[in-house]
Amino acid sequence: MSLTFQKPLPSSSSKSSRALQKGQQTKQTIVEAALGLAQQIGLEGLSIGALAEIARMSKSGVFAHFGSREELQISVIREYYQRFYDEVFFPAMEAPRGLPRVRALFANWMKRVAVEIQSGCIFISGAVEFDDRPGPVRDALASSVQTWLAALHRAVVQAKDEGHLVPDADESQMAFEIHGLILALHYEARFLKNPGATERANTGFENILLRYGKAAAGVTPPSV
């Protein structure tokens, strides 16, 4: 007697899983399209209608994934921060604690800025758009920047703990000055298009290390 085997029908749970996965993929595609648009026209310029046209979807389809323009903007901020983390912060953690890690953070940040000079920076344009507009979008922007600056400050504190900085080094001031270099570079290179801005930023960073490093006090720093 021959037996005939039939392929079992997909269970309702497997169907739900595939539908969920497809929905997540679609949402990610929309977020990536929104990020590209936001880098060109800013977060405030994002709209469900414009995004639907770019993503070749219906307005209702885009709306179903986010529910509001505000939620769309916040999703873009989260995606932008995740990419920033993956490109700048995470690789730097492979460097030893202290000045090597501070150097790695700055070097990775400069690589990121080289791209942002052409495409725009959500953190900077968003700060201009939402600096005086309280609400969830501003909160998401500020939280992302504060998280990153806290990581930079922590790296500077570790450099002092490792004996790579002078004992009276002001960690907050040093981190502030490094952040200031990046902001100045954006302004000089993207807005004013001044040549040599990148080189000046790198020189400024080395000057910061000379001022706060052990060499500034005539002390031989530990091997890094």
- Rounded average pLDDT over 12-37: 75
Distance in angstroms (rounded) separating the CA atoms of residues 149 and 144? 9
Q: Is the pLDDT of residue 62 over 70?
A: yes
pLDDT for residue 56: 82
pLDDT at 3: 46
Predicted pLDDT at 210? 95
Model confidence at 86: pLDDT above 50: yes
pTM, full prediction: 0.82
Q: Is the pLDDT of residue 218 over 50?
A: no
The predicted pLDDT at position 221 comes to: 46
SS3 at position 106: helix
Place of tokens 């000079």: 117
Torsion sign (Cα): 103, 109, 110, 111: positive
Burial of 85 (0-12, 13-18, 19+ CB in 10 A): middle
Check whether 5 has a pLDDT greater than 60: no
